[in-house]
Every structure is written in structure tokens, then in C-alpha cells.
Amino acid sequence: MLTLPAFEQAAHKVREVTQETKLIESPHFSEIAGNRVFFKPENMQRTGAYKVRGAYYKISTLSDDERKRGLITASAGNHAQGVAYAAQRYGVPATIVMPATTPYIKVERTKALGAEVVLAGDVYDEAYARALELAEERGLTFVHPFNDLGVATGQGTIAMEIVQELPLVDYILVPIGGGGLATGVSTLAKLLNPHIKVIGVEPAGAACMKASLEAGHVVKLPHVSTIADGTAVQEPGDKIFPYLQQNLDGIITVEDEELIVAFLDMVENHKMIVENSGLLTVAALRHLDFTGKKVVSILSGGNMDVITMSSVVQHGLIQRDRIFTVSVLLPDRPGELVNVAQVIAESKGNVVRLDHNQFVTTNRNAAVELRVTIEAFGTAHKQQIVEALEAKGFRPRLIQAHL
């Protein structure tokens, strides 16, 4: 049970299905965090996430009969692809129950690996309940995404690779949903070097592990709400919880808005797509209360559909004042729009959208409303543009930007 020999066996086994994810040092995030920051890019795995490790190792430990009966699991996406891929390698059927809210790309990629996909419920816990029903009805072998010591052992192989590449690592930041990854990583890290600190990172809207550690027992949240769909879990695993109590050195919670900023930072500075759950450890870098340490952030996955990506980018640009909207009231006469545009141009702003409403008041000679969405370099530049408009007497009013 989560012993060093078991981890060594798992590390050897998972090499059959994983590719190397060498650490990436980040000068940008090192400067932000005041520490030497490295990323473990599990978003670059064959299935787009670390989950293939635990799924493949667990399935390798099953008997031939257990595998031939067929496999089933519940997953918000990444474990689904891990089980589907492992089942394909072993030539056995797999059924995956996923929340109806699962991003399209995760559903399609799971189907492409030959698995039967069943959509049920809005969150993981509801999909899990349906998966248990189907397992009973069809006599299938259930492969739990996190509450399983074999799965956790497979996930923990990440820690072995980190220590082999960076022996003097001080801190490892690990995302937490149900706790399987954190269990494997923290347990093996302590076995290899008791001085390594492992900190779990949860979305604030689904912080079931934080609540459980504070209570001293597994706690089920009444509901969860987060854009980090891969970690939107109401209740952590009871089988792995004692290991987390013993080996986890702390919990950081992250708001959804921080994940949006982290996504833009990763794209702009590392040209990498990391899904919201994988960005938890990136956002957590701004919360660290120490400096001068070697810190590894595990990027757990990169399976983000294009629509979600587009939404995150738009919200991120608005949040960082790269895009903003002002409303000005103008007399309804020729040339007024040109005057506003000229002020913006002289301030090096770029107009990306115009909305001209002549019917904001019944007295069109008094005023029409002009809403201008503007691209800026950031907060200081945004303020410069607004002040330039004010200086010309336009009395701009900042309103919620929409692209």
C-alpha cells in the first residue's frame, strides 16, 4: 500500500504509455513568485493529462477476468481518456460516465479511443453514482478516478520523475480534486525526501479537501461551482484521505478569476495551453508565503475546448484592462464620432467595437450614446485614454465590456 517498491513498480510500468515531461524552468513566474519556479508539464502527455499514469497502472494490476468483464469509470474527462487508452492497450471494452457539462473535446477524444461514453448529471459526483449503477447492472470492473490506492500509486510516479530531475526540490504544488494525484505525489515525495513540502491547490468553489482537513474527516460539500471542471468534486476519497492528512503540508485555494489570468500568462510566456484545473498551481504561485526556494508546479492537464479557451481569453483581457468599454453622450450631429475616435487614436488606443444608440433619449439633439470598446496595453494605458477623453469634455463612463 503506497510503498516505495510499489511506486518503483508503477514507475517502470507507466513508461509503456507515457512520454517524458521534462521540467521547464520559468524566469517569468520565478520573478513573480520570488522563488525558482519549474513546471511539470503533464498537459503534454499523450492523453493530454497525467491521468493515464494511474489508470494504466491500476488496470495492469487487475486479473485477466476483471479486465475481460469490461471496465467502467466516472470522470470529468481526463481520467476518462486515461482509462479508455489503457483499455484500448489491453484490448478490453470500457464504459465512461461523464457529467453532461464535460467539455466537448474531452467527450470526443474519449470516444475516439474506443470507449462507450454515457453522459449523466451535472457534476462528477452525479456521474459517479450512475457509473456505480451501471457497474452493478452489467457486472463491470470499476476503476475509481482517485479513491483507489493503486491509481494513486500510478499518479505518484510524477514525484519520482521530479526528484530524479531536481533532487533538491523544496516545494511541490499539486492540484486537488478528489485527492488521488496529491496522495501519490505527497506520499512518494516524503518517502524519497521527508524535507520536501507538498502543497495542495484547490478551486475556492470546490474546496472539499480543505474542508475535510480542517474537520479531521471526509466532508461532502453541498454543491460546487468552478470553471476548473477537472477538480469540481464534492467529496474527497476516504481511502486516500489518511495519507493526505499525514503527508500534505498545506492547502491553497484559488478563485476562478485567478485561473483566467494564469491562462493568459501561460499562453503569453510559455506558449502552452493548460486547462483550468492544471492552472491551479500556476495561480497559487502568487500566494506563496516564502521566497528563495525551488518550487515545482504540476500542470495536470491541457484538455480545453476551443469555446472555453475563447471565453477565458476574452475574460482575461477584460480583467487585465487590455480590453475595456466606455460610454459617452454626444450631440447628434456630424463629426462627433470622428472627434472621439481621434482622441482615442492619439492616445494609442485601438477601437475594436462601436455601438451608436440614437434612441437613448427622446431629445436626440441633446445626446446620443456612443459605446466604444477599446484595446489598451493595461491598466495605466486605460487610465490615460479615459483621462484624454475627459480632457476633451466627453465625460466617459466605464461600463462592463463585452466582446
Residues 13 and 129 in one domain: no
- Domain containing 335 — which CATH number? 3.30.70.260
The mean per-residue pLDDT over the stretch 239-257 comes to 97
Residues 30 and 159 in one domain: yes
| Residue 307: per-residue pLDDT | 83
Residues 312 and 325 in one domain: no
Residues 197 and 240 in one domain: yes
Residues 219 and 331 in one domain: no
pLDDT one-digit tens code per residue, 184-241: 999 999 999 999 999 999 999 999 999 999 999 999 999 999 999 889 889 999 999 9
The mean per-residue pLDDT over the stretch 55-67 comes to 95
Domain end: 85, 114, 142, which one? Answer: 142
The mean per-residue pLDDT over the stretch 375-401 comes to 93
Among 22-26, 123-127, 237-241, 252-256, the minimum mean pLDDT is found in 123-127
| Residue 105: per-residue pLDDT | 78
Among 98-102, 110-114, 338-342, 366-370, the minimum mean pLDDT is found in 366-370
| Residue 369: per-residue pLDDT | 87
| Residue 229: per-residue pLDDT | 86
Confidence check: pLDDT of 330 > 80? yes
Residues 287 and 328 in one domain: no
| Residue 310: per-residue pLDDT | 87
The total of structural domains in the chain comes to: 3
Confidence check: pLDDT of 72 > 70? yes
Confidence check: pLDDT of 364 > 70? no
pLDDT > 70 fraction of the chain, expressed in percent and rounded: 98
Residues 220 and 312 in one domain: yes
Domain end: 316, 350, 367, which one? Answer: 316
Residues 21 and 71 in one domain: no
pLDDT one-digit tens code per residue, 264-312: 999 999 999 999 999 999 999 999 999 999 999 999 999 888 888 888 8
Residues 155 and 246 in one domain: yes
Confidence check: pLDDT of 382 > 70? yes
Residues 310 and 187 in one domain: yes
| Residue 193: per-residue pLDDT | 97
- Domain containing 203 — which CATH number? 3.40.50.1100
The mean per-residue pLDDT over the stretch 31-49 comes to 95
Residues 205 and 350 in one domain: no
| Residue 360: per-residue pLDDT | 65
| Helix (H), strand (E), coil (C) string for 8-31 | HHHHHHHCCCCCCCCCEECHHHHH
Quote the domain boundaries for residue 223: 4-44+149-316
pLDDT one-digit tens code per residue, 335-356: 888 999 999 999 999 999 988 8
Domain end: 287, 316, 345, which one? Answer: 316
**pLDDT-based confidence at residue 403 (cuts at 50, 70, 90):** low
**pLDDT-based confidence at residue 363 (cuts at 50, 70, 90):** low
Residues 77 and 182 in one domain: no
Mean pLDDT in the chain? 93
pLDDT one-digit tens code per residue, 159-187: 999 999 999 999 999 999 999 999 999 99
pLDDT one-digit tens code per residue, 126-162: 999 999 999 999 999 999 999 999 999 999 999 999 9
What are the residue numbers of the active site?
Answer: 51, 300
| Residue 209: per-residue pLDDT | 97
